[in-house]
Chain A
Amino acid sequence: MQVSLAAARGPEVRLSTNKEYITILFGIWLIGGVFVDGFAHNHGVVETFFTPWHAILYSGFMASAIWMGWLLYRSKTQSGSTWREAVPVGYGLGLAGVFIFLLGGLGDMIWHTVFGIEQNVSALLSPTHLVLLIGALLILSSPFRAGWHHASLQKPTWSAFTPIFLSLVATTGAVSFFLMYAWAFRYNLPASSSVDWYAVQFGDGGLIAENNQLRGLSYILIDTVVYMFPVFLLMKRWQLPIGTMGLLFALITVMMNVLDGFQNYPSIFIALGAGLIGDILYRVLRVREGRVSGERILAAVVPIALWSFYYAWMAISDGIGWETELWAGSIVEAALLSMGLQLLAAQKTPAKG
């Protein structure tokens, strides 16, 4: 699949970097609202529609909607073009996101009135919450799309790359928030102390022990996708500035640590370390210059680094409670998954002959 850059059309409206930061800020506010609201439902706190959680959510929406609307209006009056042409590059889907969010909000109100307020995970995953999430993600990812369609931006410096990068990090962070029940660094199921605890609590062996192995394994695979997919996406489009992967991995892990008050803070260093390995390989294997084989190696080695660091730290600080086949196998499986994902996600090489 070739990267499609902005199709040639009338004069493009491009936003200044400062404006992109504001979009990201309001987008984070919005996602924060969706998330906090979803989680407050989770614990039986909310019993009516009018709650402080909804206040965060809908004030974030007002801010985002007014901001996006104002951007469009400004661009329209300044360029004198049609409304359609006045949409700033990358913000078309963001404006659609505003409407999707509005529909989701109305739906949320009706849903709660008709079906009541959900409990537990079902609240986070209620249809209207998912619509709200989609709307918010479209708004939040606007600066990323704007950068993607910036044809002359091939080797961005950090100053040009930062809003694009933050937009992607925040979007990925929102996805990982919604996957918090599948976040390996929150459950640490392979650790000796975890295995022992479940054994004491629910009896040795049996269904719980087996389920925990399957959970642990699945979490590692899911989180591998969450970490690696943005890397492939970024590598496909730009020649990345130094430290991109280290920063990406560290920021996502920091965001997940906010959930639990940094109780599992070593995960930040583990992820940062793996990301830096990625940055080093990116240079050494000349992936930056477009070497495909280098990208494949990177796809395999980074997950190996991530989970090896994880198990190494676990072995030092606690002990690995899983059999060797299981924990070693999980590293290999993660590497294979990442390579498979890379094959699907990477730039297609031109056919020969």
Chain B
Amino acid sequence: MPRERAASGLERTARLLDLVPYISSHQGISVKELGEVFHTTENHLVEDLTTLWMCGLPGYTPLELMEISFESGYVTIQNAQTLQRPRALSKDEALSLILGLNALHDQVSSENPTVALEINALINKLSDVVGASITSRISNTNEVSASIRSTLIAAISIRQRVEITYHSIARDSVTTRTIVPLDSQINNEVEYIFAFCELSHSHRTFRLDRILSARKSQTPMTEKSLNEMSDEVGKLTASISISSRHRDVNEILNIQIPSGDVSGSFHVAIEVFSQDWLTRAVMSLGGAATVSQPLAASVAQRASKALLGYKI
């Protein structure tokens, strides 16, 4: 694939140009650290530095060439004034910063209006790089609360207890509970917190956007909770038959029905954490999916109960 090779060649040219100002402002940086900053191996980096060593102004005598030393494992550069200023940001780069700043703005705007103003000013400066209209064309504002996320993520590494209020869609209720966040997972671009829940004495998965508030708890876990937490995670396997080929079935059950011309019904086994969730999910698919026993009984029972409401 010649095109890809050409692209990677240009990536190297870009890196060479960007190395010069970086080294100039970080004289004496180790080859190892420089490799990490530029996401490349030490061998590649040494090749880069060797190439740069041959570059400079026309004439190419030691007077004109850049002077690079890295034999000691630490890099210094002299006589590199022409390339000393970093290159202008590309549109991609500027846009990545704008979107990051938008998210940061949402995170701080309520608590820190001064910083929020500072962020807006930066967004405006960067907008000039990508064209002024772009900020209204690409937007990621008002997303899931970033401060709740940061409390939970920070708790993961130190197994800290966090008190949350949670809107459970499955139970349709708002509860306050103490959880120990263990992992953050991103599924289908929705973020979940997997945690031990002290209220239910079991492991639970919480959707981040349904956590209404999160507050660090000051007290450590009890011995009893610690023992409960080490138990195996409970899972349920359900066998589901899908009769109607609809995108919602894939998305709600988080499965892959092959697309294309496959007719007839389709069987799938899925693992679920919550029976209540599965019953509701199957009902909301309105007949497109049928679950086998023993869970079928709970769907039939729930649907019959709902029908009673219409027959009064």
Whether chains A and B associate is no
